[in-house]
A and B are shown apart, each in its own frame.
Chain A
Amino acid sequence: MNNSSAGSRLTIFCGKGGVGKTSMALAFALWNADQGRPVLVVTSHPLRELAISVSLAGLKEAHPQAAANLYIIHIDAREVLANKVRQIVRSELLIKRVLASPIYKSLIEVAPGLKEIAFLGRLHQLSEERTEDGTETGVPAKYDLLIWDAPATGHFLQTLKVSQSFEMYLSGPFALLGREVAEFFGDVSNFALLPVTLLEEMAVDETIELCQKLASELKMYPTGVVCNMASPLLAASDVDFESLYNQMEQAGEAGENLQFIFDRQQHERSLFQKLRSSITTEFHRIERRPSWTSDLNLLWDLSRQLGGLLKT
């Protein structure tokens, strides 16, 4: 997996909001980290947010090898832009004034594609294991794998599209950056795309639409699709499912209640079928866990499932 001439392989977990992208990204990172590979995760959540640190509480004690190899950072596009300002403008005083000026602050918000270019540029840098002069802590000197826990579909597509159509707007320092980004994301061997979905109508429709847009607008194709929160019965063959259904029908009184369960199962299966017939790729089923004692245990369990499924 580690192509030493091209730098770290970038794996991107994308998909609808709420399907479990972050959980999958962390789980995949944990699995690799536990195997002794240093992993850097770029998350779309600001780190100070409770979620991530809570989920990983206790990792060092429970799994020291994984903890030693896992690094998580958040790329703040505004910070990347601010650093660019610091590089270009030499005077300290002027730097402060520019960064504080309403014109700068407003322009970076409304300038289309600017924050996206800044973000992708930094991501690209990281993928080549280049570190910025004197910037963020938390980035290790070497890592085998770079994982991007991407934002939800709309924002994700918008970000990627900028990598191909920035020229309209940029001259100056960002034009060069934009070209590098376009080149990097134009070569599909530089990254692996893994959409994550749930087996529910909206998520499935959005996943299919995402893959269609990736293909038609960006010439990008998923390496696989992760179906999160599947039931254990999803893996059963159609034949087995049929016979179980028949057994249930004969269960008499309990039958009505079982009907509810089976209706959901049937629905899940038909959505999975819809996915498979619309997207040409490998599908990975991750089972929903009924309960867990801690977030860390859940993530650990997910990492065992995911690691076994994704070949690295």
Chain B
Amino acid sequence: MGKTSVAAATALKTALAGHKCLVLTIDPATRLRTALEMDLGGTEQKVPLHDAEENGELWAAIVNIRASLDRAVLREAKPEEAQSILEHPLYQVLITSLAGMQELIAIERIHQAVAEGYHSIFIDTAPSRHALEFLDKPEFFAHLVSFPIVKLVGRTYQWWLRSRLARLSRMTFELYTRVEEILGATLVHQVLDFFSIFRKIAEGYADRAEQTLSMLRDPHTTSFTIVTTPFKARRDAEYFLTELRKRKFSVSAMVVNRIWPRFPATVPPDSHPMLQELLTWYGNVSGAHHRIWNDVSRQFSSQIPKLIPLTELPRDVDGVSALYELVRVMETWHTQGANSSKFSR
């Protein structure tokens, strides 16, 4: 789709206009990552710009799930606890397997970035359905950690288990026993054991996620941009408009990216038939792209304030010069001035 490229180009555009900007990305292409000198550990790197207006700066960072989580653990937990979390067999697995973990960390990362005083932050995230579902329930951690057994502290939970189970209501005890039976005692004990130590961090995340989410819902501080390509444009627009609105996020723009430019390219009639075929095929595809753009911009103009077409570049976006080219393409379409603290997804 080009989400990363569009986010990075928009950040560049805003930086050139004299603002301090950060672009956060989950999964950049290798060449772009190298070009922007993004550090795999997740720390922000300044992108050298020679022609920005005064005070304009562009910074770039990868959202590194593992590094972010490790940092949070080390920050929030006591040293011995931190070690036992980092070494817990479940910890590694949870990072990769927990649905919505990426998005939770991304939200956490936004929270950090906002505190660092950027004028505007641009973030692209994975297009997964998880992303939207998870935004619905940052409190599921809270459910887990509120269960009486887990509320009890420390790794001595076996002892607590024996002594405390007697204090649980019969129904709760019965439920717990059944769940243990169904899911297997090993699994349940491991998870509860882990969360009894991870609880504070989990609660911290849930709290901060709530805060960040209400900021994300405020249209004065945050806007969402749908990035799509011609053949997926209609469906993506409908889907994201519905899903984002349902969750009270506001969509301010849609970028239809990778539109093939139309050329009046003709070749002499005695040219090789393959050349003719190629040109006809190309003409059909680019024609279809333009038709779709016209249809979609007409259909959604009343629902989405800014609709921006971007033409396909001759090569994949592989560096800063390609980003400059994207900015140039964007600027041929007159858009409103940059708002403060703009997020784009």
Interface residues of A (CB under 8 A from B): 17-18, 50-51, 84-85, 88-89, 94, 97-98, 101-114, 116, 152, 155, 158, 168-175, 200-202, 205, 231-233, 236, 240, 243-244, 247-248, 251, 254, 257-261, 263-265, 267, 288, 290-291
Interface residues of B (CB under 8 A from A): 1, 29-31, 89-90, 93-94, 96-99, 126-128, 140-141, 143-144, 146-147, 171, 174-176, 178-179, 181-188, 190-191, 195, 232, 235, 238-239, 261, 263-268, 271-272, 274-275, 277-279, 281-282, 284-285, 287-288, 312, 314-316, 318
Cβ contact within 8 Å between A175 and B184 = yes
What's the count of A-B pairs with C-beta under 8 Å?
178
A110 with B288, Cβ < 8 A, contacts A50-B235, A172-B183, A248-B275 known:
no
Cβ contact within 8 Å between B29 and A202 = yes
* Further pairs besides A18-B232, A50-B239, A103-B176: 4, Cβ < 8 Å: A94-B175, A98-B179, A169-B187, A236-B274
CB distance from B271 to the nearest CB of A (A): 6
Cβ contact within 8 Å between A231 and B281 = yes
- The CA of A105 and the CA of B182, in the complex, are separated in Å by 13
A240 with B316, Cβ < 8 A, contacts A50-B239, A89-B178, A260-B263 known:
no
A201 with B272, Cβ < 8 A, contacts A103-B176, A109-B98, A288-B285 known:
no
Cβ contact within 8 Å between A168 and B89 = yes
Cβ contact within 8 Å between B179 and A244 = no
Cβ contact within 8 Å between B267 and A254 = yes
Cβ contact within 8 Å between A98 and B263 = no
Cβ contact within 8 Å between A111 and B287 = no
Cβ contact within 8 Å between A102 and B275 = no
- The CA of A291 and the CA of B179, in the complex, are separated in Å by 53
Cβ contact within 8 Å between B179 and A111 = no
A174 with B183, Cβ < 8 A, contacts A102-B147, A107-B144, A260-B263 known:
yes
Residues of chain B contacted by A248 (CB below 8 angstroms) = 267, 275
Task: Kindly identify which residue among B93, B128, B284 contacts A152, using a CB–CB cutoff of 8 Å.
Answer: B128
Cβ contact within 8 Å between B184 and A109 = no
Residues of chain A contacted by B263 (CB below 8 angstroms) = 254, 257-258, 260-261
Chain A residue at minimum C-beta to C-beta distance from B198: A110
Residues of chain B contacted by A17 (CB below 8 angstroms) = 126-128
Cβ contact within 8 Å between A254 and B265 = yes
CB distance from A101 to the nearest CB of B (A): 5
Residues of chain B contacted by A264 (CB below 8 angstroms) = 312, 314
Residues of chain A contacted by B191 (CB below 8 angstroms) = 107, 110-111
Chain B residue at minimum C-beta to C-beta distance from A254: B265
What are 15 A-B pairs with beta-carbon distances under 8 A? Answer: A17-B127, A17-B128, A18-B127, A50-B238, A107-B183, A110-B98, A111-B191, A169-B186, A169-B190, A240-B274, A247-B275, A257-B264, A267-B314, A290-B281, A290-B285
Task: Kindly identify which residue among A103, A116, A175, A251 contacts B267, using a CB–CB cutoff of 8 Å.
Answer: A251
Cβ contact within 8 Å between A171 and B186 = yes
4 smallest beta-carbon distances between A and B, as pairs: A290-B284, A172-B184, A257-B263, A106-B144
Of residues B96, B187, B261, B264, which shows the largest number of chain A Cβ atoms within 10 Å of its Cβ? B187
Residues of chain B contacted by A172 (CB below 8 angstroms) = 181-187
A104 with B179, Cβ < 8 A, contacts A171-B187, A202-B29, A291-B288 known:
yes
Cβ contact within 8 Å between B31 and A261 = no
- The CA of A171 and the CA of B188, in the complex, are separated in Å by 10
Residues of chain A contacted by B279 (CB below 8 angstroms) = 258, 261
Residues of chain B contacted by A108 (CB below 8 angstroms) = 183
Residues of chain A contacted by B185 (CB below 8 angstroms) = 171-172
Task: Kindly identify which residue among A106, A116, A247 contacts B271, using a CB–CB cutoff of 8 Å.
Answer: A247
A18 with B1, Cβ < 8 A, contacts A103-B175, A205-B30, A267-B315 known:
yes
Cβ contact within 8 Å between B318 and A261 = no
A233 with B278, Cβ < 8 A, contacts A106-B143, A106-B144, A172-B184 known:
yes
- The CA of A170 and the CA of B287, in the complex, are separated in Å by 56
Cβ contact within 8 Å between B181 and A51 = no
Chain B residue at minimum C-beta to C-beta distance from A246: B272
- The CA of A261 and the CA of B262, in the complex, are separated in Å by 10
CB distance from A77 to the nearest CB of B (A): 10
Cβ contact within 8 Å between B182 and A170 = no
Residues of chain A contacted by B179 (CB below 8 angstroms) = 98, 101, 103-104, 107
Cβ contact within 8 Å between A169 and B184 = yes
